Amino acid sequence: MKNKKVKYICILIFLILCGLFYTTTDNDKNIQNLSVSDESLAEQTKEPEISIQPEPTKVDKSDIYVYVCGAVVNPGVYQVKEDARVYQLIQMAGGILPEGAGNCVNQAATVMDGEQLYVPFQAEVEMGVMDSEGKESGESSVNINTAGLEELMTLPGIGESKAQAIIQYREEHGGFQSIEELTNIAGIKNGVYEKIKELVRIR
């Protein structure tokens, strides 16, 4: 009888140990599955990396340079936008001196790249060195980079349509770099060019 009790006790202990082993193994599997699930969730919720590219440096090609001289406070070369007016350049140069003849300069005109803007002195105008338009005395040539429609039409062989073509050409090409460019304009052939080449200038 005593042996049977011992046998039952051993069987009971064995069953308890098996139960504990099964429970531990099952918990380990659950923990492992939970860890894998957490990793999958982290991968799904991970924010995509955003690559930020630096903005390309913008190059402003609209700046031009104009030499301002004559009866101004601070003569020199000034950098401005291509649509700048004469009065803006004069202001940048400190304004016109008291002895300057500002009324002899068309301050509303648009300046050109590489242009020389000369403000005459009143004494030069009075002595006849400069005329009332700020040109050298006796100078009757037409500046094809600044002349208006009516002034261009004073040239021989240049009617309204050719004058319009000259203005359009200088606006599209940023001004004339040489007088010979007039021959690039339709309607201005060698015959017309020969008549006006001595009567025009670009500065």
Print the domain residue range for 87.
Answer: 60-139
Residue whose pair of structure tokens reads 């590219």 in the numeric block: 53
**pLDDT of 147 strictly over 90:** no
Q: Does 39 reside within a domain?
A: no
pLDDT digits (tens, 9 = 90+) for 21-49: 555 555 555 555 545 455 555 555 555 55
* One domain for residues 184 and 113: no
Q: Does 8 reside within a domain?
A: no
**Rounded Cα gap, residues 111 and 97, in angstroms:** 20
Helices within the chain (DSSP H only):
2-45, 86-92, 122-127, 149-152, 160-173, 190-196
**pLDDT of 59 strictly over 50:** no
Question: Which carries the bigger pLDDT value, residue 84 or residue 41?
Answer: 84
Q: Does 12 reside within a domain?
A: no
pLDDT at position 132, please? Answer: 45
* One domain for residues 203 and 183: yes
pLDDT digits (tens, 9 = 90+) for 188-199: 988 888 889 888
pLDDT digits (tens, 9 = 90+) for 171-183: 998 889 888 999 9
Q: Does 155 reside within a domain?
A: yes
- Angle, CA of 77, 85 and 123, to the nearest 5°: 70
Domain containing 163 — which CATH number?
Answer: 1.10.150.320
**Rounded Cα gap, residues 141 and 160, in angstroms:** 18
Q: Does 110 reside within a domain?
A: yes
* One domain for residues 174 and 125: no
pLDDT digits (tens, 9 = 90+) for 110-144: 888 888 888 888 887 776 544 444 455 444 588 89
Domain containing 76 — which CATH number?
Answer: 3.10.20
**Residue 169, CA atoms < 13 Å, CB-side half-sphere:** 23
> What pLDDT band is residue 202 in, cutting at 50, 70 and 90?
confident
Please state, for a pLDDT cut of 90, what percent of the chain lies above it: 24
What would the mean pLDDT of 132-158 be, rounded to a whole number? 74
Number of domains in the chain: 2
